[in-house]
Structure 1
Amino acid sequence: MAHQFSLAYLTVQGCPPPEQIEIAARTGYDFVSLRPIYMGLPGEPNYALAENKELLRQTRKALADTGIKLLDIELARIHDGVDVKKYLPAMEVAAELGGRHVLSSIWTSDRALYTEKFAELCDLAKPLGLTVELEFVPIASVRTLAGALDVLRSVNRENAGLMIDAHHFHRAQDKPEELDAVPRTWFHFVHLCDAPAQIPTDREEMTRILREARLYCGEGGIDIAAIVSRIPAVPFSIELPNLARVKELGYEGHARRCLETAKAYLAAHPRPQAICCA
């Protein structure tokens, strides 16, 4: 089966959705992963499609004209004081555009709160035909595979999933064989990227690499093949923010290089014929 790839927002962060879709089409991707949930980060443009009807129209047209599909939207964060209903307009837009998944992560240490709110988010997404994918992040509150699995088992929602990011998996020092115990139905897509093998001990440096200095597949020290070989054949969303490469190559050049290097890496590390099932 041929691999399928999505161009994730952070790879071309700051790029408007219609342009991101057109770049994905020109460079050979199958999907895009958009950010129509405004996070209010410094310098972040607001691409909240539910609030900008003209941008939504342009995005819808770009998808129709190019044949690119919407894989997922981000980021439905669970944090102290969050009302997850605020994510509903973005999820409704995602469903309207043919999207499949909503990416979420947890930024509060209150286990009772994040379990309740993640379950509520899944319940809001279910009538829309969307899954909610929990991503553990090394600078967030749920930062390891074990933490994410605890949430998924606790909420017990059929539309809840686990999203593995190669960078985060490596930084969490999780072991690929631990993925064998994860139900296969929890995997819907994977984030691909590389990074230096040495794990930063400084949070600021960890954050800098995570947000702006990830590497092309095969360029760093993550054993990406060991991770993806334990996961069923699902789309690869290339989330590879690298501000220096974007400055050098432009959005399109960087997106193309991301895809070329990912394909070359996967071709050099073919998936085993049999994958252990849970």
Structure 2
Amino acid sequence: MAQQFSIAHLTALGCSPPELTYMAARTGYDFVSLRPIYMGLPGEPNYDLAENKALFRETKNALANTGINLLDIELARIYDGLDPKRYLPAFEVAAELGGRHVLSSIWTDDRNFAIERFAEVCDLAKPFGLTIELEFVPIASVYNLEGTLDILNTVKCDNAGLMIDAHHFHRSGDRVEDLEKVPREWFRYFHLCDAPGEIPSSKAAMTRILREERSYVGEGGIDVASIINRIPKIPYSIELPNTKRVQQLGYEEHARRCLQSAKDYFAKHPRQCLSKC
């Protein structure tokens, strides 16, 4: 089966869900990964499809018209004071649009609270046929593979899994060999990008790069192939926000180059299964 690619919404966050879908079709993607859970971050557009019925209908029509599929939605964060039921409208939207997965990450230092709320999120998503994919983020409370596996092994939810981001994996300092201890069924998709090899020493610099300055695959210092070779063959969701490239090229050309650079990289680095993948 040919490798499949999605465009993550953060790559072209200025595009509404229907715009992103049509652009994904024009530039050769198989999926889109949408961001309908509004987080209120500075400059973040509000694409709450559960609230904006017109935008939901336009998105549903775009998916039907293009044949593009919805891979996942984000971001079901676990944070202090969270009532997981707030995510139910987004789960319903994702299911109606044919989505498969929901991305989650943990932003509370209270381990017991995180475990309880993450398990509840998984339970709430299950009737919709959705899986919850836990991602570690270097600026979050759960910031490495060890911490993520601790959560997953504790909750033991059959619709919970692990989502690895190339940028975050490199920044966490984890070893690629450690991926071999992860159950294969926990891998369902992968965030693909590159970034400078030098790891920033400050949180501000780390945040700026992960949100605004990621690199095309093969242009940075991350050994992406070493990660890919130790996980199963799954869809790659290209999450590659780069403000300067978008200003120079526009969203569509940036999206096209994201995909082409990834394909070029894998042509030069054919997949090798180095573990039980």
Q: TM-score, normalised by structure 2?
A: 0.99
Counterpart secondary structure, 2:195: coil
Alignment of 1:203-222 (within 5 A): 203-222=203-222
The secondary structure found in structure 1 opposite 2:22 is helix
Structure 2 unaligned spans of 5+: none
**Contact 1:183 / 1:277 at 8 angstroms: preserved in 2?**
no
Tell me the amino acid that sits aligned with residue 24 of structure 2.
Answer: A
- 1:208 maps to amino acid: R
Residue-by-residue CA offset, 1:118-172 (whole Å, 9 max, x unaligned): 0000000111000000000000000000000000000000000100000000000
Secondary structure of the corresponding residue to residue 50 of structure 1? coil
Q: Deviations over 1:62-117 (max 9, x none)?
A: 00000000000000000000111101100110000000000000000000000000
Aligned to 2:105: 105
Residue 197, structure 1, aligned to residue 197, structure 2: yes
User: Residue type of the partner of 2:147?
Assistant: G
Residues 102 and 131 in structure 1, CA contact (< 8 A), matched pair in contact too: yes
Distance 1:128 1:203 in 2: 36
CA shift at 1:264, angstroms?
0.6
Aligned to 1:153: 153
For residues 24 and 138 of structure 2, what CA distance do their matches in structure 1 show? Answer: 28
Distance 1:266 1:35 in 2: 27
- 1:276 aligns with 275
- Where 2:77 maps in the other structure, the secondary structure is strand
Amino acid at match of 2:275: C
Matches within 5 A, 1:1-278: 1-272=1-272, 274-277=273-276
> 2:143 is paired with a residue of what secondary structure?
coil
CA distance in 1 between partners of 2:175 and 2:43 (Å): 36
CA offsets 1:197-228 (integer angstroms, 9 cap, x no match):
00000110000001000000000000000001
Spell out, residue by residue over 1:223-269, the C-alpha distance to the aligned partner (whole angstroms, 9 max, x if none): 00000110100000000000000111111000000000001111111
Distance in 1, matches of 2:213 and 2:28, equals: 23
Cα displacement (A) at 1:277: 2.3
Between the aligned partners of 1:4 and 1:124, the Cα distance in structure 2 is 28
Partner-residue secondary structure (3-state), 2:32 = strand
Does structure 2 retain, via aligned residues, the 8 Å contact 1:196–1:220?
A: yes
- Equivalent position amino acid for 1:23 in 2: M
2-side partners of 1:118 and 1:130: how far apart?
14
Q: How far apart are the structure 1 equivalents of 2:16 and 2:181?
A: 39
Q: For 2:206 and 2:232, locate their aligned partners in 1 and report how far apart those are by CA, in whole Å.
A: 29
Structure 1 residue 15 displacement after superposition: 1.1
Amino-acid identity (%): 69
Give aligned pairs, total.
277
Match of 1:209, SS state, is: helix
Spell out, residue by residue over 1:26-75, the C-alpha distance to the aligned partner (whole angstroms, 9 max, x if none): 00000000000000011111100000110000000000000000000000
What TM-score do the two structures reach when normalised by structure 1? 0.99
Q: Which amino acid aligns with 2:143?
A: R
Instruction: Using the TM superposition, give the Cα deviation of residue 275 of structure 1 relative to its aligned residue in structure 2, in angstroms.
Output: 4.6
> Letter of the aligned partner of 2:251 in structure 1?
Y
Kept after mapping to 2: 8 A contact 1:232/1:275: no
Contact 2:160 2:186 in 1 (8 A): yes
DSSP 3-state at the match of 1:136: coil
SS in 1 for 2:180: helix
AA aligned to 1:178 is D
